[in-house]
Chains A and B, each alone.
Chain A
Amino acid sequence: MNKKGIEALVGFFVLLGIAALVFLSLKAANLSSFSGGETYALTAKFDNIGGLKVRSPVRSAGVTVGRVASITLDPKTYQGVVRLDMQKSMQFPADSSARILTSGLLGDQYVGLEAGADEKNFAPGDTIKQTQSAIVLESLISQFLFSKAADAGSTPPPAASTANGGKK
């Protein structure tokens, strides 16, 4: 095999590898949603972020409009501070609210944005004022048990309160 033949074959081999990489990135991974263009940052503070992860989607009416960029803890108010990267093409009114929702019954959690009615839109770097934390299953159950016991008309049985205390 002559020199040109071998070099051509190796070039073909490398090109095949690059094609495999491109196919894997675009068709079989989330690269295409990266190239959504420019983003602007918004901040939201939650009492409990639940199972929210970095790169979780931000959805409004079910459509993905951004991603969670970072999650930190505010050392003064002990609230979770979530930074969101929003697509520049989607502007939201300045009184929109953010909630942490779960996709499906036991799926991944995401940030749901509900548009408000303000005329002004968020400026980059603004904080979302109205937020609602994630639902914690244990508090829901203890609430249910407590209200059930109260409905029955009797004082809540000691078992229920120790169950609450034990569950903490």
Chain B
Amino acid sequence: MNVLAAIGRYVIDCFRAIGHHAFFFWQLMRTLPASLKRPYFAVVQVHALGNLSLLVILSSGLAVGFVLALQTYYALVTYGAADSVGLVVNLSLVRELGPVVTALLFAGRAGTSLTAEIGLMKAGEQLAAMELMAVDPKSRVLAPRFIGGIVAMPILALLFSAVGILGAYLVGVQLIGLDPGNFWSAMESGVDVRRDLGNGIIKSLVFGVICSFVAVYQGYEAKATPEGVARATTRTVVISSLSVLAMDFVLTALMFSTR
């Protein structure tokens, strides 16, 4: 009996959580037009989430480009296909690794800072004080951060891919000695702007929405204690990462199915 009740309670809680998320999303969407009237707040958030993440994104992109080039070279050289290293690295980065790894890093760096900041504002009763002054905290605090995350994510993903390709060029051409002409021309003929780049950008937009929404939601719904804020921060990273990876599979299956 207790087991049945526990299962039932769990399922009901799941549905309640889905409903709460959806309702929260809807409220956030409703405040977007009002918050866009003062774009400076969103600009400050783009700076905090995008500019300040540049260091980790660019260095990770460079490192991933290095390693991808090396590994694909080792794998392809036995088949005499070493000239395809550029193409393989480009496709891997632009289609998959750029959006996904950037989203994971973004969730880790920017998502946690968002959740911690909003959670601490809640713990310090700043959000309650705003409501008392008839300032909607969703419009004043949450919406700019949400918009900032959505704007920053695709730019970071593109920078990750571009720096990764440059890193692959450094390792492939300068270090290993592949032919630079073949390196770039294989990419130019094998990578399609609409299908590969375009789909990658769409993916990074979707991941930006997911990571920003989860971070903002967890921060707003955190328990107003230091422990609650800490748990909310870790939940942001875990939920963002899992959602991004699951969504990545769905999007890949939809976008890159062989027609």
Contact = CB atoms under 8 A, between A and B. Distances in A.
A61 interface: no
Contacts of B54: 13
19 contacts: A3-B40, A6-B43, A10-B51, A13-B50, A16-B155, A16-B159, A17-B155, A17-B158, A17-B159, A20-B158, A23-B162, A24-B94, A24-B197, A28-B90, A28-B165, A28-B191, A29-B192, A30-B190, A55-B192
Interface of A: 3, 6-7, 9-10, 12-14, 16-17, 20-21, 23-25, 27-34, 55
B193 A13 contact: no
Interface in B124-159: 152, 154-156, 158-159
B17 to A, nearest CB: 34
Contacts, number: 77
Contacts of A30: 188-193
A21 B192 contact: no
Given A28-B187, A34-B193, A55-B192, 4 more contacts: A3-B40, A9-B51, A13-B46, A13-B54
Contact of A32 (B50, B154, B188): B188
Contacts of A32: 188
A116 B118 CA distance: 73
B43 A13 contact: no
Contacts of A20: 155, 158-159, 161-163
Contacts of A28: 90, 94, 162, 165, 184, 187-188, 191
A14 B184 CA distance: 26
B193 A27 contact: no
Nearest to B159: A20
B77 interface: no
B47 interface: yes
A30 B185 CA distance: 9
B44 A27 contact: no
Contacts of A17: 154-156, 158-159
Interface string B46-72: 110011001000000000000000000
Nearest to A54: B259
Nearest to B258: A53
Contacts of A21: 158, 197
Contact of A27 (B188, B189, B192): B188
A31 B155 contact: no
Interface in B22-46: 40, 43-44, 46
